[in-house]
Structure 1
């Protein structure tokens, strides 16, 4: 019986630690670990009485607390954490070759967003709200970091 109780407590503690280290935020593994520990404590109460059950409860709570404190103080978590930072942006510098006033051609119908070609390169462009048919000659009206505003060349 002691083997079952100790096994359930160790599995429960391992599941709680796995929840905190490898899959934080899922709560399923952590709750499952807590249920294993509670089940082990309930078995100890039923099999050995109140005093032994309380002792198992106290020992398992102390072991869990000591494991968590040890893990945080020794930096076990920091050894497993990602330390690099991504500071780049998507499509950074994609429109550096373009300038306001450049002439191009709508490759698709712009409603108001579509594809256009400037200097043999394709770009996603946007109108100020009007629809422009495919094949119409367009001019760049404004350039923002993440979009190119065009108008028909009439």
Structure 2
């Protein structure tokens, strides 16, 4: 009888723990949550078969109550917010001093432009792009157009 109680409590406890682990750490419906649901259901079923229907009803009701209270408490206490990403990336490419560059300025590619890459203008790295062509690294490039945050370059022959 004691072994039946221990088995039921362990199966339901591990099942609920696996369901919570899936909700917090594993995105989507995966084997972890399905296994947790199966273990909890087996624990409740063993409670019905080994301990009787009255005790089985009590185990089912207490399992539903405990899991509902755990979820309600976790949402109200905002413990889920510890796992949420709160930081925002407010940086933008070429936002530091884009007005320092001018059309016609010549620089050197740091990486290959396929058609985008990095070029060095006045000792500063900038994200640049070509009009669709390939430019190898360490080649001279000229700015032909600046529009918003895009710097369009061409290879200097």
**TM-score, normalization: structure 1?**
0.71
- Determine helix, strand or coil for the equivalent of 1:64: helix
Question: In structure 2, do the counterparts of structure 1 residues 95 and 150 end up closer, same or farther at CA, with 3 Å as the change threshold?
Answer: farther
Question: In structure 2, do the counterparts of structure 1 residues 75 and 134 end up closer, same or farther at CA, with 3 Å as the change threshold?
Answer: closer
- What is the CA distance between 1:121 and its match in structure 2? 4.8
Unaligned runs of 5+ residues in structure 2 are: none
Encode CA deviations 1:56-105: one digit per residue, 9 max, x unaligned: 21221122112212222333334x24474324225343663322221235
Equivalent residue, structure 1, for 2:70 = 67
Equivalent residue, structure 1, for 2:9 = 6
Distance 1:137 1:149 in 2: 13
Equivalent residue, structure 1, for 2:27 = 25
- What is the CA distance between 1:148 and its match in structure 2? 1.8
Equivalent residue, structure 1, for 2:143 = 140
Unaligned runs of 5+ residues in structure 1 are: none
Distance 1:70 1:114 in 2: 50
- Determine helix, strand or coil for the equivalent of 2:68: helix
Question: In structure 2, do the counterparts of structure 1 residues 48 and 84 end up closer, same or farther at CA, with 3 Å as the change threshold?
Answer: closer
User: Between Structure 1 and Structure 2, how many residues are aligned?
Assistant: 152
**TM-score, normalization: structure 2?**
0.70
Checking the alignment, whether the CA contact within 8 Å between 2:95 and 2:149 is kept in structure 1 is no
Question: In structure 2, do the counterparts of structure 1 residues 92 and 107 end up closer, same or farther at CA, with 3 Å as the change threshold?
Answer: closer
Question: In structure 2, do the counterparts of structure 1 residues 50 and 82 end up closer, same or farther at CA, with 3 Å as the change threshold?
Answer: closer
